[in-house]
């Protein structure tokens, strides 16, 4: 419940009332609200007392109006409700109407006048010689002193045990207990029991009694020292029965011995120091004290030392005394491995942190959860002295890189969760700001990445809550302050981690919605982010292209990014890479920025080649309009046009052919597109070229025509298409060998038949005098059917002419184009 109350949003206000100091101790809040009586309430109370007076007291009823007017007036003017009660008590004791009237005239207007007689009677007891009077005086003095100087909520049993211990001289104090009634009555009406009979809490009848007691010197002369001594002695008294009922004073003594010891003036310390040192060096007494204080957390307090106890109650003076006089081990661990320094940090006690560190406390000591004192400074609730405590720890050698059981170092925890003040101190303590703490994470990277993680987490958890925006702003402010600090102290924006992370790349990936943050890195003075860092690999420009951020690409180029720098192992330029990724808007930005269009990658491909390979006509058009060349070889193809034909990208082939005269352009070997289309078996490419009217009988360096090449590759359909478009059937190569010679030699029966059908001259000899029949007979692949076919007659010339005309008509061209 404590955690829940502390964690309530700041707009929520909670009011608690209690008779004890639980709120002050556990919630750190205390607010006294003065309740002032209203005259109407006082009058109602007086009439109630009159109406409920015994029947044997009729005179009170008879004087009702006088009583109501007088008592109400006095109580209202003094603003003390108690006066009404005290006056009604007095009037109720009067026997006649005359006595009531006389008493009304003499009613005091102030509480001092009411309580003065009681105080005077107590002072008289002080000077009496008889034992009873002196004992009554000691009781009264003890009770009043404890009520004035003690903490709120003291019970009669606790006060009684306090008196008993003060009289027992370390023996069995129970035999010295007076009765509760004797204690209360000894105070002559100055003390009252609260309405809750079960708690048996005592209090002064009114706050004004306290001032009167001080003024008349009724109280013990050295109260805080006496009270501290009694509490400490209580814990050092041996307990005979482990199952004994909890003594009344136990809870109070456990909770407040430190308070009273702290308030003891230095000149009175001699009275209590022996008891204090005895208690602080007695582990059983210490455990008994803290076990009763925290009954559900006994494990956390097993094995504590006196230093732990002094730290808990924030007693630096006594900690110095204990260290110097007893030689206590400042690094002594409790059962959970925590040292006094852990406690001092956790409870936010700066002075004790300093005392312990100056006396060789180890700031890097792990507890059982592998938490160092520096971790404690970060996981505890935020307090005013946290930054100063962290500074002291760092000053005495605390190592922020040590990790706890969850793998968090203090540095990482402070960067991720704050507070910002401690994170700054830890950063300022580092010599190498670019060192990687773990797995490629420098401090700068931790700030960037953890800030983003926290924002994403809050966006997920609190997206529908009113508090999400302020929290988001706080996280952003925390991260930005740490980034500025790191950069101001010399952290590099251009020191890649082992996995090539840089702040600029991080910003491109996660801050693209706010280009101003990216621009801030690029414009930082001095030492801005290098937009070309990582050449040959993942440059910031490549990352922006990969994530398809055209505006970021332009921003990077505007700040010096080289748009022609190779960005991968394939030798791709940013333009080629953008085309491969099919990010058209990025391609446009790069071209407008002047990216080179004809630079080749490691495979010899230009940007235009990649666009065509992606079948992206719009990019291809754009590249051609920017002057991209189409004449570079592509793989085994002489140029881009041929590659388009080979891959069936005829629309792109048409686009390319319209920009340059490539449809019939020979290469170094005099081979034209129709040559390799014919020998590659690309029927649609052949038809495409024939429709464009290329030279059907053009010869390559070996003087081979497309028909000869198609025959050599046994491309029957292409041979047929060429013949139908008027290919010279008897054309020969530089050895005089025709298509028919080749078909006969290679045993291509169907092609031999087709050529003969088209009127090929079977008797035409090559330059060695061999005709088709010779080639057929002498071939390793001699085919008897081909020999028989060649020995027979062929088509008549008129049949050939008719087929030729029909084929030309089918292809939409005339023989004049040969």
Q: Which residues pair with 634 in a beta bridge?
A: 637
- Arithmetic mean of pLDDT, 521-550: 89
Q: Does the pLDDT at position 639 exceed 90?
A: no
Residue 24's pLDDT is 52
> Cα angle at 597 between 594 and 602, to 5 degrees?
125
Q: Using one digit for the tens of pLDDT, what is the confidence trace for 743-788?
A: 999 999 999 999 999 999 999 999 999 999 999 998 887 788 899 9
Alpha helices for 581-714 (secondary structure H):
584-592, 607-613, 617-625, 640-646, 650-659, 673-679, 683-691, 706-712
Distances in Å between the alpha carbon of 394 and those of 387, 436, 785? 11, 20, 101
Q: Does the pLDDT at position 818 exceed 50?
A: no
Lowest mean pLDDT: which of 314-323, 577-586, 644-653?
A: 644-653
Domains 529-662 and 664-818 are alike in CATH topology: yes
Q: Does the pLDDT at position 816 exceed 60?
A: no
Q: Which long-range contacts (CB under 8 A, 24 or more apart) does 630-634 make?
A: 630/656, 630/659, 630/660, 630/662, 631/660, 631/662, 632/598, 632/600, 632/604, 632/606, 633/604, 634/604, 634/605, 634/609
Q: Average pLDDT over the chain, rounded to whole?
A: 86
664 pLDDT tier (thresholds 50, 70, 90): confident
Q: Does the pLDDT at position 18 exceed 90?
A: no
Distance CA 218, CA 215 (A): 8
- Arithmetic mean of pLDDT, 358-378: 95
CATH of domain 664-818: 1.25.40.20
Residue whose pair of structure tokens reads 């006089």 in the numeric block: 325
Q: Which of 436, 431, 407, 412 is nearest to 423 (CA)?
A: 412
Residue 693's pLDDT is 87
Q: Using one digit for the tens of pLDDT, what is the confidence trace for 128-159?
A: 889 999 999 999 999 999 999 999 889 999 99
Residue 455's pLDDT is 57
The residue among 637 and 207 whose pLDDT is bigger is: 207
Stated as kind and residue range, the H or E segment containing 309 is helix 306-312
Q: Using one digit for the tens of pLDDT, what is the confidence trace for 242-262?
A: 445 789 999 999 999 999 999
Residue 463's pLDDT is 52
Residue 707's pLDDT is 96
Distance CA 84, CA 74 (A): 8
Residue 813's pLDDT is 37
Task: Kindly indicate whether the domain formed by 529-662 is annotated with CATH number 1.25.40.20.
Answer: yes
Residue 205's pLDDT is 87
Q: Using one digit for the tens of pLDDT, what is the confidence trace for 575-629?
A: 999 999 999 999 999 999 999 999 999 988 899 889 888 888 889 889 988 888 8
- Arithmetic mean of pLDDT, 379-391: 88
Residue 797's pLDDT is 41
Secondary structure of residue 556 in the 3-state scheme: helix
Q: Using one digit for the tens of pLDDT, what is the confidence trace for 456-484?
A: 655 555 555 555 678 778 888 998 899 99
Q: Does the pLDDT at position 398 exceed 60?
A: yes
Q: Does the pLDDT at position 526 exceed 70?
A: yes
Query: What is the percentage of the chain residues whose pLDDT exceeds 90?
Result: 53
Distance CA 336, CA 315 (A): 22
Residue 229's pLDDT is 94
Lowest mean pLDDT: which of 90-99, 318-327, 414-423, 486-495?
A: 90-99
Q: Does the pLDDT at position 189 exceed 80?
A: yes
- Arithmetic mean of pLDDT, 645-674: 83
Residue 33's pLDDT is 61
Residue 60's pLDDT is 84
- Arithmetic mean of pLDDT, 690-707: 93
> Where are the strands (E) in 121-275, listed by range?
191-193, 202-204
Residue 817's pLDDT is 34
Residue 465's pLDDT is 53
Distance CA 413, CA 405 (A): 12
Cα dihedral 94, 97, 99, 105, rounded to 10, equals: 110
- Residue ranges of the domains in the chain? 34-109, 112-220, 222-298, 529-662, 664-818
195 pLDDT tier (thresholds 50, 70, 90): low
Distance CA 716, CA 213 (A): 129
CATH class in words for 112-220: mainly alpha
Residue 803's pLDDT is 45
Work out the burial of residue 516: count CB atoms within 10 Å of its CB; fewer than 13 is exposed, 13-18 middle, 19 or more buried.
Answer: exposed
Asked if residues 701 and 667 have their Cβ atoms less than 8 Å apart, the reply is: no
> Cα angle at 456 between 452 and 457, to 5 degrees?
115
Task: Report cis status (omega within 30 of 0) of the bond before 85.
Answer: no
Q: Which long-range contacts (CB under 8 A, 24 or more apart) does 633-637 make?
A: 633/604, 634/604, 634/605, 634/609, 635/603, 637/676
């Amino acid at each position: 419940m404590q955690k829940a109350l502390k964690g309530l949003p700041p707009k929520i206000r909670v009011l608690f009332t209690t008779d004890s100091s639980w709120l002050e101790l556990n919630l750190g809040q205390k607010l006294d609200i003065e309740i002032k009586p209203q005259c109407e309430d006082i009058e109602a109370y007086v009439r109630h007392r009159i109406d409920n007076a015994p029947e044997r007291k009729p005179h009170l009823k008879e004087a009702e109006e006088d009583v109501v007017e007088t008592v109400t007036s006095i109580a209202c003017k003094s603003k003390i409700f108690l006066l009404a009660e005290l006056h009604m008590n007095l009037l109720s004791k009067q026997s006649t109407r005359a006595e009531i009237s006389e008493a009304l005239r003499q009613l005091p207007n102030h509480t001092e006048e009411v309580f003065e007689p009681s105080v005077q009677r107590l002072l008289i007891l002080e000077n009496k010689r008889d034992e009873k009077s002196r004992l009554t005086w000691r009781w009264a003095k003890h009770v009043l002193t404890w009520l004035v100087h003690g903490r709120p909520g003291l019970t009669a049993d606790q006060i009684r045990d306090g008196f008993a211990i003060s009289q027992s001289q370390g023996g069995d104090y129970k035999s010295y207990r007076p009765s509760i009634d004797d204690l209360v009555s000894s105070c002559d009406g100055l003390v009252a029991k609260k309405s809750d009979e079960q708690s048996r809490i005592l209090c002064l009848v009114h706050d004004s009694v306290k001032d009167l007691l001080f003024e008349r010197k009724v109280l013990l002369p050295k109260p805080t020292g006496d009270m501290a001594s009694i509490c400490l002695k209580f814990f050092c008294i041996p307990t005979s029965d482990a199952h004994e009922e909890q003594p009344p004073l136990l809870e109070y003594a456990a909770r407040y011995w430190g308070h009273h010891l702290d308030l003891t003036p230095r000149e009175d310390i001699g009275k209590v120091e022996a008891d204090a040192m005895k208690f602080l060096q007695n582990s059983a007494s210490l455990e008994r004290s803290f076990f009763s204080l925290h009954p559900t957390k006994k494990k956390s307090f097993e094995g504590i030392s006196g230093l732990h106890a002094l730290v808990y109650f924030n007693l630096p003076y006594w900690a110095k005394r204990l260290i110097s006089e007893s030689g206590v081990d400042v690094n002594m661990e409790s059962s959970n491995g925590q040292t006094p320094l852990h406690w001092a940090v956790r409870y936010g006690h700066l002075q004790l942190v300093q005392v312990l560190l100056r006396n060789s406390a180890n700031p890097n000591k792990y507890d059982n959860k592998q938490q160092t004192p520096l971790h404690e400074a970060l996981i505890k609730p935020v307090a005013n002295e946290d930054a100063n405590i962290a500074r002291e720890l760092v000053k005495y050698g605390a190592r922020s890189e040590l990790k706890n059981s969850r793998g968090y170092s203090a540095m990482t925890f402070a960067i991720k969760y704050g507070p910002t003040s401690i994170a700054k101190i830890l950063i300022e303590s580092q010599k190498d700001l670019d060192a990687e703490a773990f797995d490629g994470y420098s401090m700068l990277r931790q700030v960037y990445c953890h800030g983003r993680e926290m924002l994403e987490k809050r966006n997920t958890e609190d997206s529908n809550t009113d508090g999400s925006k302020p929290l988001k702003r706080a996280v952003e402010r925390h991260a930005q302050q740490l980034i500025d600090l790191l950069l101001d102290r010399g952290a590099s924006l251009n020191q890649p981690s082992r996995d090539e992370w840089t702040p600029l790349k991080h910003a491109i990936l996660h801050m693209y919605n706010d280009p101003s943050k990216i621009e801030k890195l690029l414009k930082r003075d001095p030492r801005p982010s290098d937009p070309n860092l990582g050449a040959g690999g993942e440059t910031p420009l490549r990352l922006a292209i990969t994530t398809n951020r055209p505006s970021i690409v332009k921003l990077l180029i505007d700040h010096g990014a080289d748009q022609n720098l190779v960005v991968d192992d394939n030798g791709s330029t940013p333009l080629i890479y953008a085309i491969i990724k099919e990010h058209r808007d990025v391609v446009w930005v790069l071209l407008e920025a002047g990216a080179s269009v004809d630079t080749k990658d490691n495979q010899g491909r230009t940007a235009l080649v990649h666009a065509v390979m992606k079948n992206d006509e719009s990019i291809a058009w754009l590249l051609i309009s920017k002057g991209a060349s189409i004449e570079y070889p592509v793989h085994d193809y002489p140029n881009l046009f041929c590659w388009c034909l080979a891959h069936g990208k005829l629309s792109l082939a048409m686009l390319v052919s319209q920009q340059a005269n490539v449809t019939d352009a020979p290469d170094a070997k005099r081979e034209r597109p129709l040559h390799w289309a014919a020998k590659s078996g690309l029927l649609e490419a052949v038809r495409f070229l024939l429709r464009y009217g290329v030279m059907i009988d053009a010869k390559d360096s070996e003087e081979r025509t497309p028909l000869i090449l198609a025959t050599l590759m046994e491309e029957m359909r292409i041979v047929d298409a060429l013949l139908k478009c008027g290919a010279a059937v008897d054309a020969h190569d530089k050895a005089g060998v025709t298509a028919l010679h080749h078909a006969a030699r290679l045993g291509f029966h169907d092609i031999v038949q087709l050529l003969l059908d088209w009127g090929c001259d079977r008797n035409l000899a090559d330059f060695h005098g061999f005709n088709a029949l010779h080639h057929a007979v002498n071939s390793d692949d001699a085919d008897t059917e081909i020999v028989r076919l060649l020995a027979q007659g062929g088509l008549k010339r008129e049949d050939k002419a008719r087929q030729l005309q029909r084929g030309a008509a089918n292809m939409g061209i005339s023989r004049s184009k040969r």
